[in-house]
Structure 1
Amino acid sequence: MAQNHSFDIVSEINFQEVDNAVNQAVKEIRQRYDLKDSHTEIELNKKEKFLTINTKDEYTRKQSIDILESKFIKRGIPLKALKFEEPQPAASGRIKQKVVLQSGISKDNAKLIIKMIKDSKLKVNTQIQDEQIRVTAPKIDNLQSVIKLIKDADLDFPVQFTNYK
């Protein structure tokens, strides 16, 4: 009997690297002459998977995000993992912004990927498993075509391919 080949489509971020990036960003913000008096705070909530930026004004908010993004890039964390919510007013005229860290493939995003694969007419099977998608096929070529399809799709969340068998 022919053996099936498979791989998983996942969306993962390394929270230890996120933590390191946040700490480096806060350190740089506190040292920069134009930002050090802003009392900017960036807090990471690992359990709920989000960051909160609390700063003095719009200028320091934008500068803080630039610094944070540069630290993420240096640590290999995809910027697509960051989903910025609208900035909100905070106490004492400050600005607060929540940044959701997309980790795991949501049900809606999983349906989107599966529809793309089905529409491609490639002879593969897909199955949602928790926050990832298992793709199986008798031919490795079909799996490679699926990987190319997903990579070329320019999704607004990061994806990786694991457990290639």
Structure 2
Amino acid sequence: MAASFSFDVVSEFDRQELVNALDQATREIQSRYDLKDTKTTLELSEDTITVSTDSQFTLEAVHNLLNMKAAKRNLSLKIFEYGKVESSSGNRVRQEITLRKGISQEIAKQISKLIRDEFNKVQPSIQGDSVRVSAKAKDDLQAVMQRLKQEELPVALQFTNYR
């Protein structure tokens, strides 16, 4: 009986790295000249970040700062899904940034169709919010990984449980 190898395609992020990136962004907001007196706050909940600030202009500056800090901590910028900007009390604005985690059914189907079409010795199977890919040869699995890295998908992909 031939051994079978597999790995999982998932979309996750390191929460501690996100917390560290938010802490760094908050510190820089408090010390930067253009953002110091804006009373900007970044609040992290289970699956959202709420940004509250003075104006649309400072909100854009906070986005750039947050993206820069996340990128330095090896977090994909695809985990941020920016909601619509709401005006809150006074002239202030609020925005919720949803944190993407997991692969949706549509994207999982897209990934498994791509694998089935291009690799005939590899079997993908959708398991909840991840895709398990199995084959008899490790080389086939590595070819699938390389191909998925080239694909432009709206979620960040990681490969786990490689055995």
Q: Aligned ranges for residues 1-16 of structure 1 at < 5 Å?
A: 1-16=1-16
CA distance in 2, matches of 1:53, 1:119: 42
CA–CA separation in structure 2 for the residues paired with 1:152 and 1:70: 23
Q: Taking structure 1 as the reference length, what is the TM-score of the superposition?
A: 0.93
Structure 2 gaps of 5+ residues are none
Aligned to 1:21: 21
The answer on 1:142 being equivalent to 2:130 is no
Matched, 1:94 2:60: no
Question: Matched residue of 2:97: which SS?
Answer: strand
Residues of 1 paired with 2:155 and 2:49: CA distance? 17
Contact 1:85 1:100 (C-alpha < 8 Å) held by counterparts: yes
Match of 2:67 among 66, 69, 88: 69
CA contact (8 A) 2:48 2:98 kept: yes
Unaligned runs of 5+ in 1: none
SS in 2 for 1:97: strand
Relative to the length of structure 2, the TM-score reads 0.94
**What secondary structure sits across from 2:109 in the alignment?**
helix
Structure 2 match to 1:31 = 31
1:103, 1:97 → 2: CA distance?
19
The correspondence for 1:58, drawn from 56, 59, 75, is 56
Say whether the 8 Å CA contact 2:119–2:144 is kept in structure 1.
no
> RMSD of the alignment, in Å?
1.3
Compute the displacement of 1:24 (Å).
1.2
- Alpha-carbon displacement from aligned partner over 1:6-65 (angstroms, at most 9, x marks no partner): 11111110111111111111111111111111111111112xx11111110011101111
Q: CA deviation at 1:3?
A: 0.8
Give the CA deviation at 1:136: 0.4
Identity of aligned residues (%): 39
What's the offset of the Cα at 1:121? 4.0
Alpha-carbon distance in structure 2 between the residues aligned to 1:87 and 1:149: 36
Structure 2: which amino acid aligns with 1:28? E
